[in-house]
Each structure stands twice: as structure tokens, then as C-alpha cells.
Structure 1
Amino acid sequence: MMDSSERLQYQPAIDGLRAVAVALVLLFHGGWTLFSGGYVGVSLFFTLSGFLITSLLVQEFESTITISLKAFYTRRMKRILPASVVCLVIISLLAWRGHFASVEGLQTDISSAALQVFNWRALFRGQSYAALIGASEPGPLDHFWSLSIEEQFYWLWPIAMLFIMRKTMKVRDNAQIRAKIIYIVTFAFVVIAPVIAKVWGPNAAYWASPARMGEIMVGASLAMWIRTSNNMTRVKSSGSLLGCIGLVAVLVSAMTWPSESGPAYVGLFPIFAIASAATIIGAISIGRFRSVLAHRLVVALGRRSYGIYLIHWPVFVLVDENRFDLAKGTLFTFRVVITVFLAWVSYALIEQPLRHGKFSWRNTFVLAGSSTAAVVLLAMTLVPKPPTLFAAEVDAGEVSLGREQSSVQSIPTTEVDQLGNQEPIKMMVLGDSTAVALGAGIVSWAKEDLSRARVAVVAHTACGFARATSVEDNTGNFRRDCDQTLGPQLTAALNLRPTVAVLMVGLADSGPMIWSQEEGVLQPNDAKFADHIHSEYRQLVDQLIAGGVKNIDWLLAPHPTTWWLGNLGHAPESLRTDLTNTWITQLASEYPNIIHIIRFDQWLEVKEENGDRSWRPDGLHLSEESALKVMNDLIGPILLTH
């Protein structure tokens, strides 16, 4: 039976259920096939939230004849935001340092997580949950979708409850009327979930808030049912039995539901929520079931379940089989130990102190808003865009010195994963705008046959390999962009472990430069200039080798044509090109088995000898079509020999 004196008091067994829920998620994300449906743990969380929040709101209204929205939102912000903000800041800093290198749209992921709309971000991205979690390079915030759904519920449900409670205050038998209203709302969401799946597809059934709200509302309905007409007395002798049956149903679902199809993707989660509701009844009923869930260790884990859930996925992404050569069970244990330890630290140093801190509602709102804005700003300014994998859609004809690099798109990694056992070459393209243009051809070449290569393009207009200030850079914008390209973006690309690098630089490294104020402006024909260039180029090559690159194919740039309109006025472009090619050739002699010189200059000179402008329409940069020809006829065969 239920202890009526404790009906709305703290129940340790509820935290025990939280521990069960988060354990299922950990097992699922750990890749244990026995728990292919371990994602149902999130659904259990949803139903628990609906039950607890509704119980608290009803209790508050019955005690005070109102619901203080300010107090409710203040409590939620103090409970949820501190650890969440810290997590997002740490993810941003790790990304800035080159981690999560190939995660596309991480800036938007962080912003969406901070703004509590990550589930909609995931839906509009067009990937299924299984594909997202199972990707070869998963994002560190892919688990934030469920937190976003709960937070959306927290924002809307108190307002709805206050409206319902006030409108029924003067109605006879208002408790029953309120309960029936909640039942109707719940039924509507239960019905709409499969409709959403049918009309908008399985992804919407999983990600969309309306499709998942039924699970939360089942918990809300349970809270209303318990509070009306002493309904718990009807199950007083079977509360533990119901809890056991519910838990068995939860575990069976966790072990039998497939990860990529099945009930989860056709809108049947609200039906599963009935099992979750049964476990809640068992947890609040006196009996053996509650006693087991109220074990001190289980409760301790449950009280930290928010931190465990928040932290576990970034840890799982970072601590993976590529970085740690461990057996599956050992790796999983290692991940869980790290996760639980960090969650314990977060609970003691972040969550509890701030949750119980004496902040007014006004200060809490200001801190919440400012910290959210700060996270979004941090993501936009600090998190580098990833190197582009299969960067197509580069209009090379629009790339020229002084213009921004064209935008690029990407092919999902899953297309490569479907190739079977054939392993594509991992390669990167580095250089200035001539490399941007060439990169379009390399990408098109790779896309023609996905078994050929995976390509990371790390190139930017006017960005050579000299880390100096160009006299031609009047605004300083190019230096800033180049620091980003040769810094975080290059580091991120190397984290992909490419084995081949294709380098090309045209005029970017052969104009007047300033390395130090003491030296002043150095001209490209100065001995000190050449010394700096050799040092910079060696540093780059050593960095590539340290990053796992085995072969560096360095193209010698051809002379700009007579129709090139970008005359820079300091030295004839042909002379500047020759200087750069000389430096590259000299460096190659120091790395005979690594740097391979490709005489692109001679090859293209023959193609253009009759004034054929189709290769380089602007006189300097290849068009996308001609870049593809270069790949097929010259570079591609060389790459495939490595």
C-alpha cells in the first residue's frame, strides 16, 4: 500500500528508477547488443518527469491557490542550467583545441543545446537517431535532444496547469474535472504520436516534441489519478507487483526493441509509458519493490542521474576504441567510471551549491539568459568549422585573391560506411585559393567512386604556409583567417588521421612579408625571406608527418596567364611563382620518401599553350570541371599508387 503521509514527500525509490533509466541508456550507448532498445530509459525519464512535475504543481496550487511561475522556473533553471552550461563550455573549448574534428555543424549543435531546441535541430538535420548515435564520428551533444524535450515541457506545462486549475476552481468536484482534462490531453498526445509517424515519418516520431509528449503526459495522468478518490487504495495490495511487472516490461523492451526500427519509430512510446507508470506505482508503494530501489547506492546513482546522462555521451565519444586499444568490456567500464566520477564532481561542486544558492528569481533569470547567450556566442566565435569532407559545390570560378572561400557541402559519412570492406584513402588538401579550386576537383573525383578517398579540404583564399603578415593584406582579415585555417582547422583535419596530403600554393607566400618588427618588410628575393619560408615549410611538413601523413603530394603551381586580372604590383607573378616552386623543390630534397613533387606547372603549360582559357577561366584558378580533369588525368593515378 501507499503511505499516505508520504504521498508527495521525497521517495528515494524514485531516484532508484532514475538509476535504472540512466543505466539502460549507458548500456545502449555502450554498444551492447543485448540492450538494443536501451533508449527506452529516456522514455522512463520522460514519464517520471511528467509525474513529478504535475504532482508538485497540483500540491502547490492546493496549498496556495496559485502556482508561482517565477518560483518554478527559478528552481528549474538552478537545477538544470549550471551543469548544462559548464558541459557546453567544455565542449566548446575541446572543439577549439581540435577535438570533435569531423563533427559538422557543431556550432549549431551547441547553440541548439543551449537554447533547448536540440531535438528540432536533430529532426531538421534529417538523420535517424540510430544513424546519429552509430555514426563513425558522432557529435558530443547528440544526447541533448531528450533534455530539450523535457525543458520545453517545463516551460509550457506550468502555464497550462495554472490555467486548468484556475478555470476549474469554482467547478463542483473540481479535482475529478481536472483529472479528466489531463486524461483527455494525454489521450490526444497518445493518439497523435502514431499519426505523426505515419504522416511525417519515423524520424519525426522519435525527435518531435508532440510525438514524445504522450510519454510525459502519461506520468501527468498518473499524478492526477493518484490524487483523486484515493485511487492508490485500489492497488494497495499490488503496488509492488505492478512495479515488478512494469520493470520487467521495461527491461524486455530494452532487450528486444531494435535500435533502427520497431515500436519506437511508429509512435508507440506512449504505450510503453504505461509500463513506466507501473514502475512508478511500485516505487511509491510500500513493499519489496520500493525497498530494493531505495537501496543507498542505487539512490545515490539516481540522484546524480542528470549529471551522468549529461556527461556520459561526450565521454563515450572521446574515450573510444580509436584512442584506447581496450577490450569492449574494459572500455565500457573505463567510460562508465570516468562518467560517474565526473558526475559526482559536478553534483558536489556545481549542481548542489548552485541549486541551493540564495539567488532571487530576477538574478536567476538574468544569469540564465546571459549564460545561454554567452554559450551561443562562444560557439559561434570559438568553435572552428570542421574540415570539409567531400567538399563539393565549390565554384572555383568565383575563387580569387581577395574573395572569400566558397561555401562547401558534405556527403554523410554513412555513404562511405556502406562501401563494405574497401577502405578509402584518407586525404587532405592544403593551400591558398588555388588549392580551394583544386579541392573542388579532388572532391568531385572522390564522389565519382566513394571507395577512392575521403577528403578534408583545409584551404582558404590568400592563405599560404608562411605564418607572417603580408604587406598585401591591408585589412588584416586574411591573417586572421589564415591563423584559423593553419591552427584549429588543420589540427582538426589531422585528428581525422589522413595518410595523404595534397599541397598547392600560388602567390600567397611570395609577396612582401613581415615576420618581426625588427626585421621589417622582407622581399621574396631576400635571403632572410627564404630562410623564413624554409623554416615555415619544414614546420608544416613535420606537423603533417606527426599527424600520421605518409605521403605529401606537392603540386608546383603554373604561371598565371596573361588574362589574369589580379596583378599585385610588387613583382611579376611568374617570378613569384618560380620562387615558390624553387623553395618547394629544395624542401622536397630533405624529405625524399615523403614529399613527392607533381609538375603540374609543366603539365598545364602544355594544355594552355594555344591560349585555351577553359582550364583557368580567370587566369589563375582551375574551374571545377578542369580541376576534375586534372584529377583524372594527372593527380588521381598518382594518389592511388600510395
Structure 2
Amino acid sequence: MKLSYRTPASLRPDSGTRDARRLSGLDGLRGIAVSIVLVFHFLPGILPGGFVGVDVFFVISGFLITGLLADEYARSGRISLRRFWGRRVRRLVPPLVPLVLLCCTAAWLLGGDVLVGLGWQVLGAVTFGYNWASIAGSASYFSATSPELFRNLWSLAVEEQFYLVWPFVLLALMLVRSARFRLALVCALAVSSVVWMGFLFQPGADPTRVYYGSDTHSFGLFAGAALALLLRRPTGLGAVNPGGAVARAGSGGFTRFAARLPSPGRLRPWLGVVALAGIGAAAAWLPAEGPLAYRGGLFGISVLSGVVIWAAVRGARFGRWLDTPVLRWLGERSYGIYLWHWPVFVLAGVAWPAAGVGVELLVAAVAVLVAAASYRWLEQPVRRRGLRGSIRSLSGFATESRSRLWVVGVAAMLGLVLVGGTTAAVVVAPAETSAQAQITRGRQLLDAAQADRKREEAERRSDPTAAPTPVAPGDLITAVGDSVMLASAPELEDRFPGILIDAAVSRGMRAAPDILAAQASAGTLRPVIVVGLGTNGPITTDELVAIEAVIGPDRKLVLVTAFADRDWTAGVNEALAGFATHHRLVGIAGWHDAIAPHTDVLAGDNIHPGPTGGRIYADCIAAALDVLAPQHPLHGRDPYRIGPDPALLRPAA
């Protein structure tokens, strides 16, 4: 996400020099944003809303790109699309090539689940269409079932698609004489994206579509563009000078409009501090899958980011506060850090699945070091000399001596090996991960069981004289769960024949009350409720209270503990245990403690069980029911030991 943002004198399309005069604070803000993203990915329990760092990048990108285009239009009365896109290619593509080749080759050497879907991931990466490739492939940003190697490239795709379209839109905007109307049109584009995101978002469903979509998640880019237009004058929309003041040349409606805007003066730095604190608060508390984020929350982050940028570029004081040496160093290398941190994290997780926080910190250090090397020896030379100039420079280096020629030869051979490794990784990639295979097995069982129930019901209706169907032990149980329960469905059906299972991938606890309420309204809610929804995120006591309110005081409730290498798992299990101790008809199925010594029976993600793990899952539920049985006998019926007693036959329909 790092883009050049020089002052007008250094923004000539053919300029290859770096100007020392830079907009203050933006490197520091980028350093903060990339740090938030790293903490979110490596230690999500600390900053569960750290995904907002990407939205900060979007606003910065929209602001800078619009400024670059507007400055060029002000100087020449036109925008050279070839040179604009050429600059973007030189900036973004060179670091991306070694990332894809090295990481794909490493994935090929490791093998297993990390290879799944690698073909479409590479295609999405090289075409800058990763977000739509993910949506088309039903990939989930929030799922733990697949170690998706290049998942972080979705945001780069959104930005590149914006770069492709925005120059045409901006040229059309130049035809609008009213500066206020021009600005209003850009704001309308931002608001339209926000409204569209809120409209498409469905509570309880996976929000990947609205999070990845260029149509639903472009409001940050438009917000940055609107800020750039607001700070520029009407003809070419001018430019912000290094000292932070808006250029005074020119006149007209926009100048008069801008003159009427409030000028906080000394309050400006403190407004920037407040906005930055708001971003930090959102990173600490904004839920990644809740409606707040997608119905205005992320747009609020964009507005706060715009305030921070405005305070930094209009007031050198606040900009200097942001541009501390560490933050500026991180900000200058933020693009490379963002590119490398996630693939390295995924590969480390595949190589050392049981690794702890120490390895995560090591991964962060490796990502920063690799990004620094890329910035020093790849990105900067290409930016200064261009791609052709860099190749000529490399050729000159190789011809100076035999030793240097040997170095270049070894590098060329390494490149061929990486290309071969990447090709092999794509060719041998399996169709689905081991976790997905177990989930598919469970889903097929549920589909078959549902079809059997419908067939039996149709037979009873067609033949009223048919013998009554024996009550199966599972006929007393309704189970609602996530993908872990879904993977265990065959073993649950075997242990509790007739159990009614409603399980789905990426489901969280907040979805349970609505699901159970729908079953209660339909009259299908059974006397024993099993809820296994702790894998995909933190839970609250209010959610458990809502479940109890829906099922009523006479039903038993079994809560299944969570087992996953996630920072929220311990808190989930503590909340479940605490709730059970204060409610007589609530029991705990200790999946976490039961599976911990037997992780070898889990899939490659160390979360989803195979057949043996599924039997352990079912045993945990049976043990919880055994504890609850004496407290509420359900008219003498045992929900998992009951046999085909003729006295308990269900009457014919």
C-alpha cells in the first residue's frame, strides 16, 4: 500500500528523483496501520478489530492517488494513463513477483493443505483480481478451515481496481464547473458503497462478500479522494504544499467555499490525536463479524483516517508527532511488510502447527527483514531507474567481472527453480483440505439424514396403517453448531440416531438464539439442546442468556467447549463453564480437554476432527447428558441410552 506522495515539483511523470519535501505524517500513519494489521493477524485476542488497519491504507491511497492525478492535470490539462499505470506497475509488481515464487515453492516443499486452491490464488495475485477470485471460489476471510497462502492480497486487488477506473472518473469530474458539486459527487460515491455494504450484509452469515467486494469496500478510497479534492483549488484542484497550507493561487467558487470552512488552528493536532485514538479504540473493540462494522463502522474508520491525514498535512506539528523514526521506517516499508507477513505466517503454521507466540513474533521479525531487503535492493532501484533501467544496471554489473557474472548466473538458476517450484505447486494441489474433507463428509451425512426423514414422513402419510416408528435416542436432541460439529456429524448420528443437527462453517454463538427461535416457532425444538459454537470467535454471557430465554426453563442445554489455537478459546471456555455453574439444567461437554491429548486425530488445521475425533466429540456430549439425567429425567427417558421400548413408540400419523 505504500505509494509515492511527493510535492508537485517532483511529480512530473518522467521524474525519477526523490524529493525531500514530503507530506508530513503519512509515513507514520502507514506505520501505525501496518502494525495494527500485524497484531490482528498474529495476536487477534489483543486487537480483535485490527482489520481496520486496511481501511486506513485505503484512505491514504485514495488521497495520494487523487493528489497525483490532480497535480498532473493542473500542470498539463491532461492525465497520461500510460504513465500513471506504468508508475503503479513499477511500484507494486516487482515486490509481488518474488513473493509469489518463493512462497509457492515453499508451499510445494511442505505439501498438504497449504496447496489447496493455489492455482486460483496465483491467478488472483497476478491479475489483481484476488478479491473476486476468492468470492467466486467461496473462500472465507474469517474461516480457519484452509491455510490460504495469499489471503492478504484481497486489499491490493481492491486498490488496483480503483487505480484502473478512477482516472476516468476524475477526468469526468473535471468537466463539472462547480467545485462543491464535484466534491458532493465523490462523497455520494463513498456513501453509495457504504449503503451497498450494509444492504448486502446478513447478520449471522459469513461477511466475506461484503468485506472483499470492490463495490462494497471502496468507500475508504473515495473518502481519501474527497479529502484530496477538498484541499485543492478548482482548476486542477491544486496541491498541498510541504508546509501544510493550501496553495492560494486561483480563485472561484471553490476558493470561497474553502475559505468558509472552519480553521481549528491550534486545535488541529488535538483533533488528529482524538481521531487516531478512535482508530485505536476500534482496533481494540470493533467485532470483525458483527453488524456494527459493516453498517457504518468501517466508514467511521475512513472518516477518522481522513481527519488524521488532514491534521498531519495541514499542520506540520501533528505530522512530526506521527513521523517518529520507527513509525516512519515502518511506513516506508509497509507495502513489503503487508505483502510478506501473512504468507510467512501461514507457512510457519504449516511447518510448526503447535508453535506458540514465540514463533509468531519470529515470523513478524522475518517479514519485516524481508520487506526491508526488498525495499533496499528491489523496490527503490526500480523506482529510481525503472524496470528497463534496473535490468540494464544488472547487466552492467554482470559484465564487470567473472565473479559478478557467476552471481548473476546463480540468481538466474534460482529464478528458474522458483518458477519450476511454483508450477509444481499449482499442478499437484489437492482439491480440498483435510478439514474440508471432514466437513464435506459431515454435510453429506446430514443431507442424507434429512432425505431419509422426509421419505419416512411421506410413507407415514401415505399409509396410516403402517406400524409406529420406534423412538430413537437422538429424537430428543437438537444440536446447533459450527464446522467442528459438522465434521463430527456422522459420529453424532451413530451415537444418537435421529438427532437433529444444524451446523454450518464459520458460525458463531450470536447466531444460535435466532436459529433456536426459528425451530421453536416451527415446533421442531426438542427437549435437549446441544450448542457447539465457540470455535470462530469470542462469546458473551448475554448470548448464552438469550439462548436460555429461547429454549425455556424445561429443556436441558449442553454447551460444548472449544478447541482451537485461537486467543479467544480460553475466554470462551471460561464463559461456558461459568454459565453452567449458575444454571441447574446446563451441562458442559468437555471437548477441549478430551481432544487435547489426541490432536493426531484432527485434520491438518488442528481444529476439525476425523472419524476418531468425531467419536470423542460424541462421547463428550454423552458424558454431559449423563451428568444432567438425574436432575431432569424427561419423563423417565434417557436421551442417549434409550432402546426401542414398545411403550415409547411414536403414534402413527
- The TM-score with structure 1 as length reference comes to 0.56
SS of 2:217's equivalent?
helix
Amino acid at match of 1:303: E
The residue number in structure 1 matching 2:308 is: 279
In the alignment, the residues of structure 1 paired with residue 336 and residue 285 of structure 2 have an alpha-carbon distance, to the nearest angstrom, of 27
Q: Quote how far apart the aligned CAs of 1:221 are.
A: 0.9
Matched, 1:211 2:216: yes
Which of residues 429, 432, 439 in structure 2 aligns to 1:385?
Answer: 429
Which of residues 344, 348, 356 in structure 1 aligns to 2:376?
Answer: 348
In the alignment, the residues of structure 2 paired with residue 35 and residue 352 of structure 1 have an alpha-carbon distance, to the nearest angstrom, of 32
Q: Quote how far apart the aligned CAs of 1:341 are.
A: 0.6
The residue number in structure 2 matching 1:44 is: 56
Task: Map 1:4-19; keep pairs closer than 5 Å.
Answer: 10-19=22-31
The residue number in structure 2 matching 1:258 is: 287
1:376–1:185 Cα change, 3 Å: farther
1:242–1:99 Cα change, 3 Å: farther
Amino acid at match of 1:88: V
The residue number in structure 1 matching 2:322 is: 293
Question: Higher mean Cα deviation, 89-98 or 29-38?
Answer: 89-98
The residue number in structure 2 matching 1:592 is: none
Matched, 1:451 2:614: yes
In the alignment, the residues of structure 1 paired with residue 136 and residue 71 of structure 2 have an alpha-carbon distance, to the nearest angstrom, of 38
The residue number in structure 1 matching 2:395 is: none
Task: Map 1:504-583; keep pairs closer than 5 Å.
Answer: none
Report Cα offsets for 1:146-186 as digits up to 9, x if no partner: 11111111111112112222x23xx3xx4344223222322
The residue number in structure 2 matching 1:29 is: 41
1:142–1:48 Cα change, 3 Å: same
1:277–1:414 Cα change, 3 Å: farther
Q: Quote how far apart the aligned CAs of 1:326 are.
A: 6.2
Task: Map 1:485-500; keep pairs closer than 5 Å.
Answer: none
Task: Map 1:130-145; keep pairs closer than 5 Å.
Answer: 130-131=142-143, 135=144, 137-145=146-154
The residue number in structure 2 matching 1:245 is: 274
The residue number in structure 2 matching 1:319 is: 348
Task: Map 1:61-460; keep pairs closer than 5 Å.
Answer: 61-99=73-111, 101-131=113-143, 135=144, 137-165=146-174, 167-168=175-176, 171=177, 174-198=178-202, 202-227=207-232, 228-229=254-255, 230=258, 234-266=263-295, 268-320=297-349, 323=352, 328=357, 330-359=358-387, 382-383=425-426, 384-386=428-430, 389=434, 390=437, 415-416=486-487, 420-421=591-592, 422-423=594-595, 451=614
Report Cα offsets for 1:171-215 as digits up to 9, x if no partner: 3xx434422322232232233221222599733221111111111
Q: Quote how far apart the aligned CAs of 1:114 are.
A: 1.5
SS of 2:218's equivalent?
helix
1:211–1:359 Cα change, 3 Å: same
Report Cα offsets for 1:332-357 as digits up to 9, x if no partner: 33222111110000101111112222
Q: Quote how far apart the aligned CAs of 1:52 are.
A: 0.9
Bigger fraction of residues in helix:
2
In the alignment, the residues of structure 1 paired with residue 323 and residue 103 of structure 2 have an alpha-carbon distance, to the nearest angstrom, of 34
Report Cα offsets for 1:480-527 as digits up to 9, x if no partner: xxxxxxxxxxxxxxxxxxxxxxxxxxxxxxxxxxxxxxxxxxxxxxxx
Amino acid at match of 2:221: I
1:261–1:324 Cα change, 3 Å: same
Report Cα offsets for 1:218-267 as digits up to 9, x if no partner: 11111111124346772333321221111010000000112332422445
Contact 1:190 1:270 (8 Å CA) reproduced: yes
Q: Quote how far apart the aligned CAs of 1:321 are.
A: 9.1
Q: Quote how far apart the aligned CAs of 1:387 are.
A: 7.3
Structure 1: runs of 5 or more not aligned = 364-373, 394-410, 430-445, 455-642
In the alignment, the residues of structure 1 paired with residue 217 and residue 420 of structure 2 have an alpha-carbon distance, to the nearest angstrom, of 30
In the alignment, the residues of structure 2 paired with residue 376 and residue 149 of structure 1 have an alpha-carbon distance, to the nearest angstrom, of 26
Amino acid at match of 2:368: V
Question: Higher mean Cα deviation, 183-192 or 277-286?
Answer: 183-192
Contact 2:101 2:418 (8 Å CA) reproduced: yes
1:262–1:27 Cα change, 3 Å: farther
SS of 2:188's equivalent?
helix
Q: Quote how far apart the aligned CAs of 1:102 are.
A: 4.2
In the alignment, the residues of structure 2 paired with residue 152 and residue 376 of structure 1 have an alpha-carbon distance, to the nearest angstrom, of 27
In the alignment, the residues of structure 2 paired with residue 317 and residue 359 of structure 1 have an alpha-carbon distance, to the nearest angstrom, of 30
In the alignment, the residues of structure 2 paired with residue 160 and residue 287 of structure 1 have an alpha-carbon distance, to the nearest angstrom, of 31
In the alignment, the residues of structure 1 paired with residue 348 and residue 423 of structure 2 have an alpha-carbon distance, to the nearest angstrom, of 26
Contact 2:102 2:418 (8 Å CA) reproduced: no
Contact 2:198 2:295 (8 Å CA) reproduced: yes
% identical aligned pairs: 29
Report Cα offsets for 1:257-281 as digits up to 9, x if no partner: 1233242244531232111111111
In the alignment, the residues of structure 2 paired with residue 381 and residue 321 of structure 1 have an alpha-carbon distance, to the nearest angstrom, of 18
- The TM-score with structure 2 as length reference comes to 0.55
Contact 2:46 2:284 (8 Å CA) reproduced: yes
Task: Count matched residues.
Answer: 400
Q: Quote how far apart the aligned CAs of 1:23 are.
A: 0.3
SS of 1:34's equivalent?
coil
1:18–1:414 Cα change, 3 Å: farther
Contact 2:194 2:295 (8 Å CA) reproduced: no
1:30–1:238 Cα change, 3 Å: same
1:356–1:160 Cα change, 3 Å: same
Report Cα offsets for 1:294-331 as digits up to 9, x if no partner: 22222111010000000001121223496287652x33
Amino acid at match of 2:348: V
SS of 2:385's equivalent?
coil
The residue number in structure 2 matching 1:56 is: 68
Q: Quote how far apart the aligned CAs of 1:10 are.
A: 2.0
Q: Quote how far apart the aligned CAs of 1:93 are.
A: 1.3
CA RMSD of aligned residues (A): 3.8
1:359–1:95 Cα change, 3 Å: closer
In the alignment, the residues of structure 2 paired with residue 198 and residue 77 of structure 1 have an alpha-carbon distance, to the nearest angstrom, of 36
In the alignment, the residues of structure 1 paired with residue 381 and residue 33 of structure 2 have an alpha-carbon distance, to the nearest angstrom, of 25
SS of 1:451's equivalent?
helix
Report Cα offsets for 1:125-152 as digits up to 9, x if no partner: 4354222xxx265222111111111111
Contact 1:205 1:266 (8 Å CA) reproduced: no
In the alignment, the residues of structure 2 paired with residue 100 and residue 276 of structure 1 have an alpha-carbon distance, to the nearest angstrom, of 40
1:233–1:57 Cα change, 3 Å: farther
1:183–1:112 Cα change, 3 Å: same
Contact 2:96 2:339 (8 Å CA) reproduced: yes
Amino acid at match of 1:33: G
In the alignment, the residues of structure 1 paired with residue 337 and residue 485 of structure 2 have an alpha-carbon distance, to the nearest angstrom, of 29
Q: Quote how far apart the aligned CAs of 1:98 are.
A: 2.8
